[in-house]
Amino acid sequence: MELGIQGKTALVTGASKGIGQAVAEALAREGVRLFLVARSQDRLAVLADRLQKDGAEVQYLAADLTEPGNTERVLKAARDFGPVELFLGNTGGPPPGTAESLPPEAWQGAFDLLFLPMVRLVQGLLPDMKARGFGRIVFITSLSVKEPVANLALSNAIRAGLTGYLKTLAREVAASGVTVNAVAPGYTRTERVEALFAHQAREEGVPVDAIYRRIEAQIPAGRLGRPEEVAALAVFLMGKPAAYVTGQTWVADGGYLRFLL
């Protein structure tokens, strides 16, 4: 399928590993110019170098998006690089914990990680997108927006809030050629998940393979997802053919969730 985004500029946050990195790689294959953001300068440098060797035009900025001033720095540098028409909004997951026990600081931290940077970046990017009559905003959220996951109260609550924001925004900007969607991964094999499973295995005193087998047994596909399988959905939503698709959350979970819609 011809996505029609060759030569366009994308801002990809949380780009240094996992799903964000896979989106960056997939966009590079489509000939998209990339502005990459994450905290780790070293990882961004390695990724940018690899993508550039494959012919992509790439710049990056190491920035912690929980610090308000950094979203301004990112916006300025990304806009200087090119008119940003594609935005992949992604950061790391918040810590686990129950709704009953998490302290107010943890809620604030999750809001500052998952919600506020997305709003700040979107508000900075929208004027250019609207002026050009084309924009694609895709957030990476989680299947927890469809079915809350036990002991992930921060993710369950704050990502639900972001989903309300995206639904509202999508209607506000739809007539300007800007779409707003979310991709909600199920269990996807990234470093974060490998670390979480290793932690779980230590807690339970079982081999890490046992944790993988237990989770895989709950997934109809019989395996965890691959970052590139989540990325493929995000990149489709950024393409011209997806112009009439907006305000939705799209799940990539190997059939894990049982809901009809």
Ligand X SMILES: NC(=O)c1ccc[n+]([C@@H]2O[C@H](COP(=O)([O-])OP(=O)(O)OC[C@H]3O[C@@H](n4cnc5c(N)ncnc54)[C@H](OP(=O)(O)O)[C@@H]3O)[C@@H](O)[C@H]2O)c1
Give the residues lining the site for ligand X (CB under 6 A). 13-20, 38-40, 43, 64-66, 90-93, 113, 140, 142, 185, 187-188, 190-193
Closer residue to ligand X, CB minimum distance, 117 or 239: 117
DSSP assignment of 75-127 equals HHHHHHH--EEEEEE--PPPPPB-TTT--HHHHHHHHHHHTHHHHHHHHHHHH
Closer residue to ligand X, CB minimum distance, 130 or 228: 228
Question: Least distance from C-beta 108 to ligand X, angstroms?
Answer: 14
Rg of the chain, C-alpha, whole Å: 18
Nearest Cα residue to 188 out of 158, 133, 232, 129: 232
Question: Least distance from C-beta 198 to ligand X, angstroms?
Answer: 14
Closer residue to ligand X, CB minimum distance, 181 or 190: 190
Closer residue to ligand X, CB minimum distance, 3 or 162: 162
- Phi/psi for 90 (5° steps) reads -155, 140
Structural element, H or E, at residue 236: helix 227-238
Residue showing the smallest CB distance to ligand X in the complex: 18
- Contacts of 148-151 spanning 24+ positions with Cβ under 8 A: 151/96, 151/97, 151/98
* Helices 153-173/104-114 angle, 10° precision: 40
Question: Least distance from C-beta 53 to ligand X, angstroms?
Answer: 20
Question: Least distance from C-beta 38 to ligand X, angstroms?
Answer: 3
Closer residue to ligand X, CB minimum distance, 113 or 237: 113
Question: Least distance from C-beta 224 to ligand X, angstroms?
Answer: 7
Question: Least distance from C-beta 5 to ligand X, angstroms?
Answer: 22
229 CB-near residues (< 8 Å, 6+ apart) = 188, 252
Closer residue to ligand X, CB minimum distance, 5 or 113: 113
